[in-house]
Amino acid sequence: MQLPVDSSSSRTGVLCAGALVLDTLVRPIDAIHWGTTTFIESIQPRVGGSAANTARALGILGVPVRVAASLGNDEAADVIRHELERCHVDDSFILAAGQPTPQTIVLVRSNGDRHFLHHKGCSETAFHTGLQFTPGLTAGIRHLHLASLFVVSNLRNQAASILRGARAAGLTTSLDTCWDPQGEWMPVLSGCLPELDVLFMNEDEAAQICAGNSLPETARQILASGPSLLVIKQGSKGCRIFTQAAETICPPYDVQPRDTTGAGDCFVAGFLAAYLEGAPPERAGLMGNAAGALSVQQIGAVEGLLPRTRLEQWMADTPLRTIAS
């Protein structure tokens, strides 16, 4: 799917850059007992990785979307490309790498929580020279969403320059941190903040960033460094959105989760789909919550997601959950 070459005033597309991964979801796994055999309900291959999940979700929601990433020359890459195309994602700027396509074993508990066993593969070399915002890459694009900051190795030192290049090309920017297995957190993130419009993180990641400070105090510090919005994804508790002027709490939809894998990435897609159209933060937050709620009701990141008009009808028909203060 090729995005149109438009003037900057009529660009509507989103460029997602980050990790593309082939996941294998194993559920339910509530405990590991080494040296034994456990019977399980299902083992299912699914496309994953934050960039792939958010891009596919945007495509399902009807937002023109393109991906910049790397894949190996293997069957896993073929599966991922086929799935991207099915979700109307432009994959023409995915680079072929000499290493294997990244893969993850996802162990899913009965309550939907999950643990990831990840092999980086070509994510080790992706973005080693950053990302060049050529006219072809940015044609029809208005916004860069950078995913997988702490998962794709070279993004640790290239993310700030990539975001700066996006700004120079006239794009707005967002970033979703993901978990940092190396525990570096703010020393990596701080260089990105001046180049960001929206920063996403979940509440576990936010706790690491806060480093002993309260979330509102950390939000003030982050917003003073550049972003206009800080969005905290809270799963079954909805989300919190901070601006310089206010904090907005968006309640979750009342659903029963089966698999939370990729729900945060779908939240980002729902949020951006509304926010980039000019919706206020509270409306964007509710659409993000809706996309996440639809995601968790099915196995896999985007299998439960609905096209935009059906999603909005689902929002109108589905009750919000009351969260105790």
- pLDDT score of 80: 97
Banded pLDDT at 322 (limits 50, 70, 90): confident
Banded pLDDT at 5 (limits 50, 70, 90): very low
CATH superfamily of 14-316: Ribokinase (3.40.1190.20)
- pLDDT score of 113: 85
Inform me whether the pLDDT recorded for 49 exceeds 60.
yes
Q: How far apart are the first and last CA of the chain?
A: 45
- Domain residue spans in the chain? 14-316
Region 182-193: mean pLDDT is 95
Region 120-131: mean pLDDT is 94
Q: For 95-120, how does the pLDDT look when each residue is reduced to its tens digit (9 = 90+)?
A: 999 999 999 998 989 988 888 899 99
Query: What is the C-alpha to C-alpha distance for residues 147 and 75, in angstroms, rounded to an integer?
Result: 23
Region 204-208: mean pLDDT is 93
Of 1 and 167, the structure prediction assigns the larger pLDDT to: 167
The contacts found for 235-240 with CB under 8 angstroms, 24 or more apart, are 235/202, 235/203, 235/260, 235/263, 235/264, 235/292, 236/321, 237/203, 237/323, 238/285, 238/289, 238/321, 238/323, 239/267, 239/285, 239/288, 239/289, 240/215
Inform me whether the pLDDT recorded for 44 exceeds 50.
yes
High-pLDDT (> 90) share of the chain, %? 86
Burial of 101 (0-12, 13-18, 19+ CB in 10 A): buried
Inform me whether the pLDDT recorded for 325 exceeds 80.
no
Inform me whether the pLDDT recorded for 14 exceeds 90.
yes
pTM of the model: 0.92
